Amino acid sequence: MPTLLITGANRGVGYQLASYYAAEGWSIIATCRNPDEASELTSLGGDVEVLALDVNSTDSVLALKAQLGDRPIDRLLNNAGVYGPRTGFGETDYDTWLEVFNTNAIGPMRMIETFADNVVASDMKQIFNISSVMSSMYATVVGSGVIYRSSKAALNMVCRGSAAALGEKGVTVVNFHPGWVQTDMGGPQATLTPEESRDLLVNTFANISSSNNGLLYAPDGVPIPW
């Protein structure tokens, strides 16, 4: 069965995706910062390893690489992300902005570059990143959320550059908007439950091919303009 390496697997959509693919018989490498505090994740049945990972730390990413070695990874799913301060124009916290960039854009690039050979060695050869419709310059018509929006826009460029670099090796790199989800980030007023977001993403993931390389999609598979 395929192997999935997923970041931020301890809650929200990340947990739902890890749980779904575990039930489907995939080998799951589920990562989070503190496995000892992820009881729901560690109690999942199936072929599930729960390993410590902080995507903000190059040392942590390299330590995970040392643990996994050359094991093929069919799908690398960069799900870990943060929103940061919910500020409007004129209220930007510049120090926090750098922290959000580290998690949302630099972290996925750390993972992609570190585990690219593992993905190339697999059968499926997929790298999926959780971005956001808020990353779209075309769709942005408000002045708030610049920290989060810009970090996810940077992730879109990570996707495009990685797709160009790895496409010739048969790897497909795609970004996805999970929808507005009822998580700690999305809030209780959001329109999708984590389970509903998962179901939409799973269906869309199943239809991804090399023709989708380097693009951004809504959870239902509709392309989102940059």
152 is catalytic: yes
Active-site annotation holder among 15, 21, 125, 152: 152
Closest-CA residue to 3 (of 119, 163, 175, 172): 119
Closest-CA residue to 108 (of 120, 98, 116, 97): 116
Closest-CA residue to 207 (of 192, 185, 186, 222): 222
**Is the CB of residue 179 less than 8 Å from the CB of residue 163?**
no
148 is catalytic: yes
**Is the CB of residue 5 less than 8 Å from the CB of residue 75?**
yes
Phi first, then psi: what are they for 13, rounded to 5°?
A: -65, -35
Report the alpha-carbon angle 217-156-20, nearest 5.
50
Sign of the C-alpha dihedral computed for residues 119, 179, 104 and 153 taken in this order? positive
Active-site annotation holder among 15, 21, 83, 148: 148
CA distance 85 to 147: 8
CA distance 124 to 178: 21
Count CB-CB contacts under 10 A for residue 121.
Answer: 14
User: Which residues are the active-site residues?
Assistant: 148, 152
